[in-house]
Chains A and B, each alone.
Chain A
Amino acid sequence: MSVFTPKRLSPQLRQPSTTRVMMLDMLVALTPALGMAVFFFGVRVLALCAVSIVSCVLFELLYRLLTRQSMTIGDLSACVTGMLLALSLPVSAPYWVPVMGAAFAIVVVKQFYGGLGRNFMNPALAGRMLAGTMPMLMTTWPQPLHRLSLTAVDAVSAPTPMSYLHEGALPPQELDMMLLGQRGGCMGEVSAFMLLLGLGYLLLRRVISFRVPGGYLGTVALFSLLSAPSGVSPWVWTAYQLMGGGLLMGAIFFATDPATSPVTPRGQVAYGIGCGLLTLLLRFHSPYPEGVGWAILTMNCLVWLLDRLGLPRRFGIGNFAATKAFLAQGRANLAEIKFVIPKLTVTLPKPKEGQAPGEAYLDLLRAASRTFLPLVLVLAVTGGVIHSVQQFTDLDTARAAVQAQQEVLAQAMPQASVGAETPYRAIGALSITAGYDGEGHLLGYCVAVQSQGFAGPITMTVGVDLNGTVTGVAVTSHSEDLRVGGEAMTPEALARYVGRSGTIRPSGDNAVDAVSGATATSKAITAGVNRALNIVANLDTSGGVTYEDTE
């Protein structure tokens, strides 16, 4: 390396904690959580940890060997990465998941950027979040005390406390169960008590300072207190927020990673607060119940900025002067940005000697055409394509079809604002459309059916809500003679079906009387409505369709 490293003259003493000792301390601090995980989830935890650590060390060894760099596995950082990666997986994860995570963490995140201390993202967390993109693998949370054997993956999945908290409700676990870790979750994160033991050890050994975990947990606690849902004690809510999910593990072991957290004390506090705010934002306002991982990875990317903002002020100049100097520096930096005003005036070239008049203009044109020709070509091709699309598609018809669909929906299900074609099929149904309200809640189904009228088939769309009640009927096409059957198809006549359910009979209970003078058409419409009601009542939204015609 080109760096000049001077010889050490003083001090003659050195603190005993080297990089290797720091990493060893991290492993020691993780041991209680590991022990609790083995107790709750069985020996498979140990096997996953071993696979993860061995593959991390192997990938580091191989990379350093292949790129002919100095050997760094002695600093134990790969072991810490492996251990953290394994403990942040669910115990039901297959064995290849930690191997894949280790490859990404060690090779891509850590070594490509130059090894320990130069990576900008926490390797273990990045590997874990990569594995987390495979939802089928990473969303089964085995229940504690349902111990898994080394090979079994038939885990009994249980919802984690976070999924309850995400819905604004308290989880069924008591607080002491949360503290001990009797809940679903990743292997290492379940036991809050054991994680806090690890925190105590790390603080005692001065491996980490309290600034990052303090800022992180403090922010989460403060905002949880303020945002407790009504009817829940804010203190209990806060305790669940703090102990739920991976927050403690993230705040103690992931956010404090030396390489990817700020080096300046003030920056560290700001980083912790930022992690806390992002975590809460993701917990409350994202479709996922947990946000610790993404929050920390996002803050990892802001470390550069926080470091520069958090530099200690100069000794002996006081806060006021320091702030002034800081602002002056900012102004100087801004002043260094030069805004280049583009030259918009055109100067016409003068003809050089030996050139024909106008030849210089030709050169100018040639140069300009060379610059702009590709742009002009792309524009021409794009324009041509759009033009031909417009030529060959009948936009008016397409628009009219959409319009007609909207009108039918408005007639068949006035409550719904959006209709969406469903993939469900049923005998007798031409199509089944689901109706949603403005906020996306399913209201019911609009079934298009056909029935035999006086003069030919009548096609109609019948809206049925989730209770099996008719919301509206719209006749879309028919071949009836309006003088004979028109009475049965007036909006008033059709409105009589609204609110009916079950099977509508021609007379007696639940009857819609036939319109006099249009008996055949009326019967046809009643038959169509009955068919639609039956289809919706027997609609199997999981795929299979059972329908039998009652007629």
Chain B
Amino acid sequence: MTHSFFGGVYPATRKDITRRKPMARLAQTPKEIVIPLIMCADGPSTPIVGPGDPVLVGQPIARRGETGAAAHASVSGRVSAIENRPHPWGGLSPAIIIQNDERNEPYDGRLPPLDPRQLTVEQLVERVEASGIVGMGGGVFPTWVKLARSAGKIDTLIVNAAECEPYVTADYRLLLERSEHILRGAQALARCLGCERVVLVTEGDKLSAVEAMERRLRRRGGGRVQILAVRTRYPLGAEKQIIQTVTGREVPPNGSPLDVKCAVFNVATVYAIHDALFQGRPLTHRAVTVTGGAVTRPRNMWVPIGTPLRHLLETCGGLREETDRILTGGPMMGIALQSLDAPVMKDTNSLVCLTGWEHKPDTPPGGCIRCGKCVAACPMHLAPVFIRLALEHQDLKKLARFHLEDCNSCGCCSFICPAQIPLVETVNHASIFLKKGVAEQ
């Protein structure tokens, strides 16, 4: 391995809390499932069921808009309402509410499994679109769009199992327990997209998963698949950084991975694609890690999408001590939840309840001591210390030179800053200030 990315930080991973806990199904499914219509970065979907309609597991209940993705019922029961409910991204948004009848009857109109040997790109895109699959690592970009765009244009397919966020072990458990499916999914994707190389990237702290994967590869021949275990460093899982680590290529500014002939899929997405192709199951369930020092019985779980987070937390025994911050999506990039009534979404990989000791509550930021750690930590080659100074001087000309649009909000600078200055927010603010200033001129 000769490639690497610049910068990065080494937060304490604390994955040992849930690392050895196998994925468990919910002992009791929630009485009410909330499926938001906004589950995708590309806009809302349109409901195709009305209040009072009976639904079964896997039945489509919303159709995609212009791009977007479809939604499916994750339990069987009856639609009780379509109304505004709390959304994990903040605020309220329309959602389909399903009253669970706890019978889990499967949908009889499910799609037939496809033959892996005669799979075409058109079939793949159509099936992924029908199954409502989105990027499950946090990107929530509709996967069928990405597949259609990258077919024939890439030479490297990267399966992102880095899971560089501390605490979260959902992808690790998935990799360990469903390695066969993930491998088959990745191979099918590679065949359809016509790429020479499939690389499954994990971090060095997931060696037992790497071992499981390699056992499978030895037994049945991996073909184009290879496994890459990289030393744990945040943010390895960020799209541009993982491409740089695997191929040494840098995605150009404002460009997409296609510009460097790569495509990155989260390992959970690959698993969902496998299920959709060869089992005919749409995306209705996902792996979620409930963890953090404040949770009584932290564990990994396989839950229906739409399960209210409060139900999830209660299943894990609730809180055993005062929590300082509850969030989804990992503590580095995740944003604090406003309400526990928000449901599990397609990209919710974790529910983290941090104690005050773990979160270290905000103290007033001190003065910058010019240590330069933010510059050395930024994987996007930015210089937050100078951006902050330019913002302080309200110097538009200088701000324009600092490539603010490159920031991917990974949070390395805020994490590392010994003066505890909220640098990510400062850079975002500077970006807004610059846009406003340029518009005024």
Contact code string A47-71 (vs B, CB < 8 Å = 1, else 0): 0000000000000000000000000
Residue in contact with A5 in the complex, picked from B360, B386, B426, CB distance below 8 Å: B426
Residues in chain A near residue B228, CB distance under 8 A: none
* Also in contact, A5 and B331, with CB within 8 A (given A10-B411, A314-B253, A316-B251): no
- Of A37-45, A129-137, A262-270, the stretch lying at the interface with chain B is A262-270
Q: Please state if A315 and B381 are interface contacts (CB–CB under 8 Å).
A: yes
The residues of A that contact B386 with a CB separation of less than 8 Å are 263, 307, 311
Residues of B within 8 Å of A9, CB to CB, are 335-336, 422, 424-425
CA distance A261 to B381 in the complex (A): 19
A10 touches B333 (CB 8 A): yes
CA distance A260 to B333 in the complex (A): 32
| A118 CA / B383 CA spacing, docked (Å) | 17
In whole angstroms, how far apart are the Cα atoms of A433 and B146 in the complex? 95
Interface check A380, CB cutoff 8 A: no
Is A168's CB within 8 Å of the partner chain B?
no
**A350 within 8 Å of B (CB atoms):** no
Kindly list chain A residues whose C-beta atoms are within 8 Å of the C-beta of B125: none
Contact A13 B369 (CB under 8 A): no
Contact of A14 among B366, B372, B385, B420 (CB under 8 A): B420
B429 CB-CB contact with A under 8 Å = yes
Contact of B372 among A3, A5, A263, A318 (CB under 8 A): A263
Q: Using Cβ atoms and an 8 Å threshold, which residues of chain B touch A11? A: 11, 331-333, 411, 414-415, 424
Question: Which A residues are CB-close (under 8 A) to B391?
Answer: 3-4
Q: Which of B240, B367, B375, B382 contacts A115 (CB 8 A)?
A: B367
Q: B83 near A: Cβ within 8 Å?
A: no
Stretch at the interface among B102-110, B172-180, B201-209, B401-409: B401-409
Q: Does A116 contact B (CB under 8 A)?
A: yes
Question: Separation in Å of the B62 CB from the closest CB of chain A?
Answer: 29
CA–CA, A235 to B281, complex, Å? 71
**With a CB–CB cut-off of 8 A, which chain B residues contact A312?**
6, 375, 378, 381-383
The verdict on A10 contacting B414 (CB below 8 Å), with A5-B365, A5-B421 known, is yes
Residue of B11, B333, B371 touching A258 (CB-CB under 8 A) = B371
Please tell me the number of chain A residues within 8 Å of chain B, measured between CB atoms. 47
CA distance A117 to B371 in the complex (A): 8
CB contact list, A312-371 vs B, under 8 A: 312-318, 329
CB of B79 to closest CB in A, whole Å = 35
Interface window among A15-23, A239-247, A450-458: A15-23
Return B388 CB to nearest CB of chain A, in Å: 8
- Binary flags per residue of B163-194, CB closer than 8 Å to A gives 1, else 0: 00010000000000000000000000000000
B359 located at the interface, meaning its Cβ lies under 8 Å from any Cβ of chain A in the complex: yes
Nearest B residue (CB) for A12: B331
- The answer, yes or no, to whether B138 is at the interface (CB within 8 Å) is no
With contacts A12-B327, A12-B334, A12-B359 taken as known, whether A316 is within 8 angstroms of B252 at the C-beta atoms is: yes
User: Is A7 a contact of B383 with CB atoms below 8 Å?
Assistant: no
A17 to B376, CA, bound (A): 16
Asked whether any CB of chain A lies closer than 8 Å to the CB of B362, the reply is yes
Q: Does B299 contact A (CB under 8 A)?
A: no
How far does the alpha carbon of A431 sit from the alpha carbon of B410 in the complex, in Å?
A: 83
Nearest neighbor of A21 in chain B, beta-carbon distance: B418
Q: Is B9 part of the binding interface, using a Cβ–Cβ cutoff of 8 Å?
A: yes
A6-B429, A14-B415 are contacts. A19–B369 as well, Cβ < 8 Å? Answer: yes
Min C-beta distance of A375 to chain B, whole Å: 40
Interface membership of A75, Cβ < 8 A: yes
Q: Is A410 an interface residue (CB 8 A)?
A: no
Residues of B within 8 A of A75 (CB): 366
Tell yes or no: B370 within 8 A of A by CB.
yes
A117 CB contacts on chain B under 8 angstroms:
367-370, 419
Query: How many angstroms from the CA of A17 to the CA of B9 in the assembled complex?
Result: 13
Given contacts A12-B327, A15-B415, contact A313 B381 (CB under 8 A): yes
Is A8 at the interface (CB under 8 A from chain B)? yes
In the assembled complex, B358 has its CB within 8 A of some CB on chain A: yes
B290 within 8 A of A: no
Are B372 and A258 touching (Cβ within 8 A)?
A: yes
Is B368 in contact with A13, judged by CB distance below 8 angstroms?
no
| Size of the chain B interface, CB-CB below 8 angstroms | 64
Q: Which residues of A contact B214 (CB under 8 A)?
A: none
A318 and B366 form a contact (CB under 8 A):
no
| Contact status B372-A264, CB under 8 Å | yes
A7 and B422 CA atoms in complex are apart in Å by 7
B387 to chain A, nearest CB (A): 11
- Our pick among B358, B367, B370, B426 for the contact of A13 (Cβ within 8 Å) is B358
Q: How far is the CA of A2 from the CA of B334 in the complex (A)?
A: 29
Q: Mark B251-278, 1 if CB is under 8 A from A, else 0.
A: 1110100000000000000000000000
Chain A minimum-CB-distance residue to B372: A263
Among residues of A, the one whose C-beta sits closest to the C-beta of B380 is A315
Enumerate B236-258 residues with CB–CB distance to A below 8 Å.
240, 250-253, 255
For A77, the closest partner residue in chain B by CB is B369
With A263-B375, A329-B401 known as contacts, the answer to whether A8 contacts B392 (CB < 8 A) is: no
Q: Compute how far the CA of A4 lies from the CA of B385 in the bound complex, rounded to whole angstroms.
A: 14
Taking the complex as formed, is B354 at the interface, i.e. its CB lies under 8 A from any CB of chain A? yes
Known: A5-B421, A117-B368. A316 touches B6 (CB 8 A): no
- With a cutoff of 8 Å between Cβ atoms, the chain B residues found around residue A313 in the complex are 381
List CB contacts (< 8 Å) of A422-458 with chain B: none
Tell me, yes or no, whether B72 is within 8 Å of chain A by CB.
no
**Assembled-state Cα–Cα distance A479/B395 (Å):** 87
Q: Once the chains bind, are B360 and A14 in contact (CB under 8 Å)?
A: yes
The answer to whether B11 touches A15, judged by C-beta atoms less than 8 angstroms apart, is yes
**Cβ distance A265 to chain B, nearest Cβ, rounded Å:** 5
What's the nearest-Cβ distance from chain A to residue B292, in Å? 10
Among A2, A10, A311, A312, chain B packs the most CB atoms within 10 A around the CB of A10
How distant is the Cα of A426 from the Cα of B158 in the complex, in angstroms?
A: 96
Contact between B424 and A10, CB atoms less than 8 A apart: yes
A175 to B381, CA, bound (A): 43
Chain B: minimal CB distance from A478 (Å)? 77
Provide the B1-34 mask, 1 if CB < 8 A to any CB of A, else 0: 0000010010110000000000000000000000
Q: Inside 8 A of A228's CB, which chain B residues have their CB?
A: none
Q: Would you give the shortest CB distance from A302 to chain B, in whole angstroms? A: 15
A117 to B378, CA, bound (A): 20
Q: In the complex, what distance in Å separates the CA atom of A456 from the CA atom of B375? A: 89
Query: Does B351 interact with chain A (Cβ within 8 Å)?
Result: no
- B16 to chain A minimum Cβ distance, whole angstroms, is 16
* B12 / chain A contacts, CB cutoff of 8 Å: 13
B200 an interface residue at 8 Å Cβ cutoff?
Answer: no
Alpha-carbon separation in the docked complex, A11 to B377 (Å): 14
Interface string of B98-139 (1 = CB under 8 A from A): 000000000000000000000000000000000000000000
Check A537 for interface membership: any CB of B closer than 8 A: no
Q: Is the CB–CB distance between A314 and B370 below 8 Å? A: no
Q: Which residues from B are CB-within-8-Å of A315?
A: 240, 250-251, 253, 379-381, 406
Please tell me if A73 contacts chain B, counting CB pairs below 8 Å: no
- Taking the complex as formed, is B325 at the interface, i.e. its CB lies under 8 A from any CB of chain A? yes
Give complex CA distance A9, B429 in Å. 12
Question: What residue of chain A has the Cβ atom nearest to residue B414's Cβ?
Answer: A11
Contact partner of A15 (CB less than 8 A), chosen from B362, B369, B409, B416, is B416
Q: How far is the CB of B420 from chain A (nearest CB, A)?
A: 6
Q: Which residue of A lies closest to B392 (CB)?
A: A3
Q: Hey, which chain A residues are within 8 Å of B360, CB to CB?
A: 13-14, 16
B420 near A13: Cβ-Cβ < 8 Å = no
A259 is an interface residue with CB less than 8 A from chain B? yes
Is there a chain B Cβ closer than 8 Å to A163's Cβ? no
Within the assembled complex, what's the spacing in Å between the Cα atoms of A259 and B409? 26
Is the CB of A469 closer than 8 A to any CB of chain B?
no
Asked whether any CB of chain B lies closer than 8 Å to the CB of A476, the reply is no
Q: Which A-B residue pairs are the 4 nearest by beta carbons?
A: A263-B372, A11-B411, A258-B371, A6-B425
Chain A contacts to B: CB under 8 angstroms: 2-19, 21-22, 72, 75, 77, 115-118, 209, 258-265, 268, 307, 311-318, 329
Offer 6 A-B interface pairs, CB within 8 angstroms, sorted by A.
A7-B422, A13-B358, A14-B420, A209-B376, A261-B372, A312-B375
Given contacts A13-B354, A13-B360, could you give 5 more A-B pairs where the C-beta distance is less than 8 Å? A3-B391, A9-B335, A10-B333, A312-B383, A314-B406
